[in-house]
Chains A and B, each alone.
Chain A
Amino acid sequence: MATTLAPTELLDTPLAIGGRGFRSRLMVGTGKYRHNQEMAQAIDASGAEIVTVAVRRVDLDRTKEEGVLHHLSPERYFLLANTAGCYTADEAVRYARLAREAGFNEFVKLEVIGDRETLLPDTAGLLEAARVLVKDGFTVLAYTSDDLITALRLEDAGCAAVMPLASPIGSGLGLLNPYSIRTIKQRLEVPVIVDAGVGTASDACLTMEQGVDGILMNTALAEARNPVAMASAMRFAVDAGRLAFLAGRMPRREVAVPSSPERGMLA
Chain B
Amino acid sequence: MSELTVVVNGEERRVPGPATLLDLLRHLGLDPRTVVVERNREIVRRPRLGETAIAEGDAIELVHFVGGG
Taking beta carbons and an 8 Å cutoff, which residues of A are in contact with B? 29-33, 36, 39, 52-58, 60, 63-64, 67-69, 79, 81-82, 84, 94, 97-99, 101-103, 169-170, 196, 216-219
Contact = CB atoms under 8 A, between A and B. Distances in A.
A69 B67 CA distance: 9
Interface in B48-69: 61-69
7 contacts: A29-B68, A30-B68, A53-B67, A54-B66, A54-B67, A98-B63, A101-B43
A260 to B, nearest CB: 49
Interface of B: 8-11, 28-30, 34-36, 38, 41, 43, 45-46, 61-69
Contacts of A84: 68-69
A169 B43 CA distance: 30
B44 to A, nearest CB: 9
B65 A81 contact: yes
A57 B69 CA distance: 17
Contact of A54 (B8, B41, B61, B65): B65
A127 to B, nearest CB: 22
Given A57-B62, A84-B68, 9 more contacts: A30-B68, A31-B66, A32-B69, A52-B68, A60-B8, A60-B9, A69-B34, A101-B45, A102-B64
Contacts of B30: 58, 63
Determine chain A's interface SS by DSSP, over half rule: mixed
The 7 A-B pairs of least Cβ separation, nearest first, read A54-B68, A29-B69, A218-B69, A30-B67, A53-B65, A31-B67, A57-B9
A31 B68 contact: yes
A39 B69 CA distance: 12
A216 B69 CA distance: 8
A169 B41 CA distance: 29
Nearest to A64: B29
B63 A31 contact: no
A60 B28 contact: yes
